[in-house]
Amino acid sequence: MKPALFSVLCEIKEKTVLLRSFHQFPGWKVREKKVEEMCLSIRGAQEEDPPDPQLMRLDNMLLAEGVSGPEKGGGSAAAAAAAAASGGSSDNSIEHSDYRAKLTQIRQIYHTELEKYEQACNEFTTHVMNLLREQSRTRPISPKEIERMVGIIHRKFSSIQMQLKQSTCEAVMILRSRFLDARRKRRNFSKQATEILNEYFYSHLSNPYPSEEAKEELAKKCSITVSQVSNWFGNKRIRYKKNIGKFQEEANLYAAKTAVTAAHAVAAAVQNNQTNSPTTPNSGSSGSFNLPNSGDMFMNMQSLNGDSYQGSQVGANVQSQVDTLRHVINQTGGYSDGLGGNSLYSPHNLNANGGWQDATTPSSVTSPTEGPGSVHSDTSN
DNA sequence: ACGAATGATTGTTA
DNA sequence: TAACAATCATTCGT
């Protein structure tokens, strides 16, 4: 009936068909399902009379997708419109052009098929009319009968058209889900980007919730989008929490990595603090962290972090490095507790429910200030 | 080829 | 509304 369209459909649908065979699996509830639902609902209420909401829906959709656009027979205007409607920005233009190409293909097939049907309809009508005229010589034929025949023919053909529209809609939906789904063209982040993100994560292990500003900065550093940063942290938090043991090594790695800078920062901060309040006794042995003193250092940090930092940069650094040092110290030798209310062991600040204790909840010890990331900017929140 | 890792999406929840 | 949890689809290491 419409072999060309079907070949396109088959090409696009290969995977969908596969997916459909997984119908019985409980996890199967993907976008494909939406496609299917839509198609089913379309099929469900098919042959109706003039107004037919389903037909209108189909027409609207085809129009919206630029398939049954203003002009017949190809044309790039509709494609451009479709692209503009769906994408907007012209980044991954390769994928987009591919998408557009397919859409154009579908549209062309749709129009040629539609035209063919119309033509066939007309031909068939005239043919029947001729037959009737011939018959009218042998028997009386009322105009009513002619009208009825024509009506039947038109209904038949319009139902065929309906099917064509359904198939086209289906093809477009599948095309969309195939090309516009970012999961299908996922790329891993660069090594450096992952490095940066991991560094932030493990040095903020007690509260790995970067503020909006911090996210922006990370995004800039990693050349990814803010939402990608959000995704990354969302995934990281959940996966870390789910299997802390698995991430232990990684945590150690990054903790050690930033330990030196942390120590430096802490030392600097302590020095800073000393200048402000000379009561603090020992300078924190710059370079490496000797455990006996570090406890005091943390105390200092905590109090310092609580209020007095003006040099925002330093304050932020200190807070962020505290976690790192904690981790390192924890790894090196126990140092069981006494400085945080919360256990120092790997599930750092994971509470009983398995969540990171919220910065908003007034916890026993950790400074009730907002997340570390937001320190370095004025922000009202 | 296979399983683990990983980025993205979706639905739910507080 | 952001975070979580589950899941998908791709990539990567073997």
A188 CA from B5 C1′ (Å)? 10
Scanning every strand, the nucleotide with its C1' closest to A238's CA turns out to be C4
Whether A71 has a pLDDT exceeding 70, the answer reads no
What is the per-residue pLDDT for A303? 33
Angstrom distance, A25 CA to C1 C1' = 32
| Residue of A16, A36, A7, A110 whose CA lies nearest to A66 | A110
DSSP string, A108-163: HHHHHHHHHHHHHHHHHHHHHHHHHHHHHHHS---HHHHHHHHHHHHHHHHHHHHH
Model's pTM, two decimal places? 0.55
- Residue A235 reports pLDDT greater than 90: yes
pLDDT digits (tens, 9 = 90+) for A333-342: 433 333 333 3
In this complex, the residue with its CA at the shortest distance from the C1' of nucleotide C5 is A238
Q: What is the pLDDT of residues A326-373, one digit of tens each?
A: 665 555 443 333 333 333 334 445 665 556 754 444 433 333 333 333
Q: Which long-range contacts (CB under 8 A, 24 or more apart) does A159-165 make?
A: A159/A46, A159/A47, A160/A1, A160/A117, A161/A114, A161/A117, A162/A46, A162/A47, A162/A55, A162/A58, A163/A1, A164/A2, A164/A5, A164/A110, A164/A113, A164/A114, A164/A117, A165/A55, A165/A58, A165/A59, A165/A62
Q: Is the CB of A247 under 7 A from strand C?
A: no
For chain A, give me the number of helices (H) and strands (E)? 12, 0
Strand C atom within 7 Å of A235 CB: yes
Nucleotides of B under 7 A from a protein CB: 5-11
The helix (run of H) or strand (run of E) holding residue A329 is helix A312-333
- Three-state secondary-structure class, residue A356: strand
Query: From the Cβ of A14, is strand C under 7 Å away?
Result: no
Per-residue pLDDT tens over the stretch A100-124: 777 888 889 999 999 999 999 999 9
Identify, with chain letter, the residue nearest to nucleotide C6 (CA–C1').
A27
In sequence order, which residues have a C-beta less than 8 Å from that of residue A96 and are 6 or more positions away? Answer: A83, A87, A90, A179
